[in-house]
């Protein structure tokens, strides 16, 4: 299943980005600790322990918050958090799709979810990189206005890309199929 492979890949990236930062700083015990944590995370995920991904994602977020204090690039922390968010979402998605038995529905539902997840992660990464790249000071009022404008723009984009589907019992999980039936 594609989702399972992507889950394992995103877990590996979540762990390897901080490990790479620690290796560049010469902090090899921290690299080893990160790799051990990654192996534990993968092992618990393979055993399908339901709390494994949320717990390890929380640990990785705490670690990523501390990375700049060790002189490690915040870009590595950003990439680690984004891939951690992907693993958290994919873990929850895998738990949800266990009830789907029909392969065609499962494949389409998976493709639909992965396309939206990719768009969301790309947008989050771009926003994070922009936030880390801007090196000028704004006053509170100007920053507030800019933040509100971005919030309105993103709200408009999200509602345009992903309109809230009207759910009816027994309807298809795909909004476009529900519209065709009506």
Residue 57 lies in a domain: yes
The dihedral built from the CA positions of residue 105, 108, 114 and 120, taken in this order, carries a sign that is negative
- Would you say residue 180 lies in a domain? no
Whether residue 141 is contained in a domain is answered as yes
Cα separation, 32 vs 142, in Å, equals 44
Count: domains in the chain: 1
What region, left, alpha or beta, does residue 71 occupy, with left being phi > 0 and alpha being psi -120 to 50 degrees? left
Burial class (CB in 10 A: 0-12, 13-18, 19+), 56: buried
Task: Compute the distance between CA of residue 73 and CA of residue 20 in angstroms, rounded to an integer.
Answer: 10
* pTM of the predicted structure, to 2 decimals: 0.70
pLDDT for residue 21:
93
Task: Name the nearest CA neighbour of 177 among 109, 114, 128, 125.
Answer: 109
Question: Looking at the domain assignment, is residue 177 inside a domain?
Answer: no
Write down the pLDDT at residue 124.
82
Q: What is the spatial distance between Cα 121 and Cα 88, in angstroms, rounded to a whole number? A: 12
Instruction: Answer yes or no: is 182 within a domain.
Output: no
Q: Is residue 128 part of a domain?
A: yes
Owner of token pair 């618990």 = 44
Asked if 106 contacts 97 with a C-beta cutoff of 8 angstroms, the reply is yes
pLDDT tens series, the chain, 182 aa: 688 889 999 999 999 999 999 999 999 999 999 999 999 999 998 898 888 888 999 999 899 988 888 988 899 999 999 999 999 988 988 888 877 777 777 788 888 888 888 888 888 888 788 778 777 777 888 888 988 998 888 788 777 765 555 555 565 655 555 455 55
Range of the domain at 131: 2-163
Does 172 fall in a domain? no
Is the residue at 24 inside a domain?
yes
Quote the pLDDT of residue 150.
83
């Amino acid at each position: 299943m594609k989702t399972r492979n992507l889950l394992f890949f995103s877990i590996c990236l979540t762990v390897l980005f901080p490990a790479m930062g620690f290796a560049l700083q010469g902090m090899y015990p921290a690299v080893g600790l990160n790799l051990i944590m990654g192996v534990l995370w993968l092992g618990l995920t393979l055993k399908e322990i339901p709390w494994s991904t949320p717990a390890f994602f929380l640990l990785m977020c705490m670690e990523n918050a501390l990375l700049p204090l060790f002189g490690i690039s915040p870009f590595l922390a950003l990439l680690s958090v984004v891939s951690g968010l992907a693993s958290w979402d994919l873990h929850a998605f895998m738990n949800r799709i266990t009830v789907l038995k029909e392969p065609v529905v499962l494949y389409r539902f998976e493709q639909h979810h992965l396309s939206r997840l990719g768009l969301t992660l790309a947008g989050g990464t771009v926003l994070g990189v922009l936030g880390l790249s801007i090196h000028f000071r704004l006053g509170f009022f100007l920053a507030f206005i800019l933040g509100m404008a971005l919030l309105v723009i993103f709200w408009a984009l999200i509602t345009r890309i992903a309109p809230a589907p009207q759910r009816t019992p027994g309807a298809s999980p795909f909004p476009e199929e529900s519209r065709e039936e009506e």
